[in-house]
Amino acid sequence: MRTALCTDPLFLQHAEPPGHPERRARLEAVTAALDRSGLVERCVRLAPRRAELSELALAHDAQFVAALQAQIEGRSGFVDPDTYHSPASWSTALYAAGAAIDATRAALSGDVDAAFVLARPPGHHAESRRAMGFCLLNNIAVAAAVARAQGADRVAILDWDVHHGNGTQEIFWRDPNVLYLSVHQYPFYPGTGANAEIGEGEGRGTTLNVPLPAGMGPDEYDFVFDHIFMPALRAFAPALILVSAGYDAHVDDPLANMRLVEKSYAGFVHRLASLGKPLVALLEGGYDLHGVSASASATLDSLLHPAPCRQGVAQCAPPAEESCARTRAALTGTTLGLALADAA
């Protein structure tokens, strides 16, 4: 596929305090691995630009944005015990959101088939009125909201980060036109993402959570994709698929307890690419330098060269099958619940 890549050394200006896991070395390791692979030269390069405040306001409360800017611009400190900022973090966060927006626009317009945004700070924990979990602004939510505002009838956001994307879920909790799907370790930070969390009001049934206990691996994740995510995406028929591409479910990650390997992420991309929709992935977590760089390389290679992927994993550990069953039960009576019941 014709694939865009957006990254830039400016994303290293979000400078971490000593010992923090969300560190510049993560992005340096990923970009070095991509340079060695030869994949970069096959991509369309996109330069990042700063998001406009009006674009942020499509996903974030405007008063929150103004207060966050006043708090962090030009300063070092923390917005909560986990979430730091350095003097350049406000500008860097605007560029991260702008990169997500422009990559999404390029995919929606047909200029490219897919895009991969390697930016920091990450975003999926940031809520409409709160920065948290290493995240200042919710890049993927802003991109989805801009896509909707510019005519995309339906947008799907799939989150495979090991931590639940509470911010993305909160922002689209009542929106029937944005499908949020997440598979994540549970119970775990941030404490959200139970099977019963399916949205409210008009958005009831367009949030799908499949929480998994620690220790789950490739077979269990493939089962979730094949029995929940892929049927739901086919039924929802989005104009665009966005991916919160965190790599902290990798077996070597120091902050979590899952057992994925880099080829697991290639399989996820092959499945999603088979739907024939514009596909945009945004870097989220991943804190082992080899794990994040090898997994991101596998993701980009799969975006460039999508291949058929075996679907329909027959067996996996019982906790994953049971979680899928609880998700289907929670969605009973909704449109997607019917689609999942048929697929089962």
Residue 309: band (very low, low, confident or very high) from pLDDT cuts 50, 70, 90: confident
Active site residue 20: no
Q: Residue 236 belongs to what domain range?
A: 3-343
Convert the pLDDT of each residue in 198-246 to its tens digit. Answer: 999 999 999 999 999 999 999 999 999 999 999 999 999 999 999 999 9
Which of the residues 14, 60, 125, 250 is marked catalytic? Answer: 125
pTM of the model: 0.98
Taking only the tens place, the pLDDT of each residue in 18-61 is 999 999 999 999 999 999 999 999 999 999 999 999 999 999 99
The answer on pLDDT for 147 being more than 90 is: yes
The pLDDT of residue 113 is 98
Which pLDDT does position 343 carry in this prediction?
A: 85
- The answer to whether 83 and 136 have CB atoms below 8 angstroms apart is yes
Q: What is the CATH number of the domain that holds 236?
A: 3.40.800.20
187: preceding bond cis by omega (within 30 degrees): yes
Structural domains counted in the chain: 1
341 falls in which pLDDT band (50, 70, 90)?
very high
- Predicted local confidence at residue 314, as pLDDT: 61
Residues 269-300: tens digit of each pLDDT: 999 999 999 999 999 999 999 999 999 999 99
Whether residue 187 is predicted with pLDDT greater than 70 in this model: the reply is yes
Task: Tell me the per-residue pLDDT of 82-140, one tens digit each, with 9 for 90 and over.
Answer: 999 999 999 999 999 999 999 999 999 999 999 999 999 999 999 999 999 999 999 99
Structure confidence at residue 310 (pLDDT): 72
Q: Does residue 312 register a pLDDT over 90?
A: no
Mind listing the pLDDT tens digit for each residue in 249-266? 999 999 999 999 999 999
Going by pLDDT thresholds of 50, 70 and 90, the confidence category of residue 344 is: confident
